[in-house]
Every structure is written in C-alpha cells, then in structure tokens.
Amino acid sequence: RSRQRQMCIRDSIYVDPEAAKIVFACGAPIVMVGLDATNQARLSFADIEELASWNGRVSRVVAPLLRFFAQANRQIFGFDGAPLHDALAVAHLIRPEVIRTRRLNVEIETAGELTRGRTVADLYGVSRRPPNAEVALEVDLGLFKELLFQAIRVLDAEEV
C-alpha cells in the first residue's frame, strides 16, 4: 500500500469542497461521519424483510424503498444490504456511543484533478497537523439497528 493510503480515510465532498475546507478550519467542534463509517451502518436483506413483515403505516412504505436501495447497492457496489448514511449521523446525535470516533486532523482536497472533494484524515499523525475533527471509525451496528427499528415501531404505532 502507498504511504498516503495508509494514513488516510477518504470520503468525498465533491459539490463544494471549498466550503467544507472553511468549515473544517473554523475551530468549531466537528464530528465527521463519513462513508467509511456509514457504509457499515447497513440493513441486510433479512432486516428489510423483517421491517416488511410489520405492515405498519411507516414500515409498509419504508421496506420497499429499502429493498430497492439494497438491490441497487448490491448491483452497483456489491454491498449486502442498504447503507443508511444520514440515519447514522442522526443516530449519533441521539446516542453518541453508536459510533466510535477518534480525534484526527482532516483536510479537504480542493485542487486535485482526480481527488477534488476528498477528505483526508491523518490516522497516524504523519502530517503533524493538530486534530480538527472527531472522525467516526466504527459503528455499533446492533445499537444502530435497535435505534432505527425502535423509531419505525413508534411511527408505525402512531395514530394519524
């Protein structure tokens, strides 16, 4: 492996990396829940079928959407299920222990011809730059699913 690959976690903020660079440099507390983490927050096909069996007001709508998303992710990326990117970031706000983070320096690539928008997290301190973000590294998948299923159960039970 190349030295750069060993020191980096990479994600993409392609649409507006200049804005992301400003945010990461502003000094505010940041928790980066990037694709390395969110791809771990995956509902399996079995999880989705369980949701479909509930037949509640919300689960009846969510399950087919998740099934479609999981099938697309299997076909395109080879994933066994549906990664729920935004849901993991929200779950962290509710229960911070759903992810394990580490304080790292994160820089945003704005000039690279092939790497525009990449986030570069210095895992090994090679850059010697001070940490500027908490970076999600691992997901407690059991807790994540528990939170998600609990929320859907509550919504299924609500009267309209």
How far separated are the first and last CA of the chain, in Å rounded? 55
Residue given tokens 């993991």 in the structure block: 88
Which two structure tokens, joined as six digits, stand for 57? 């007001």
Asked if 37 and 136 count as a contact pair (C-beta separation under 8 A), the reply is: yes
Amino acid at 20: A
E-strand ranges in 37-117 read: 42-43, 82-83, 99-108
Active centre residues (catalytic): 85
Write the single-letter amino acid at 99.
Answer: I
**Cβ of 51: how many Cβ atoms within 10 Å?**
23
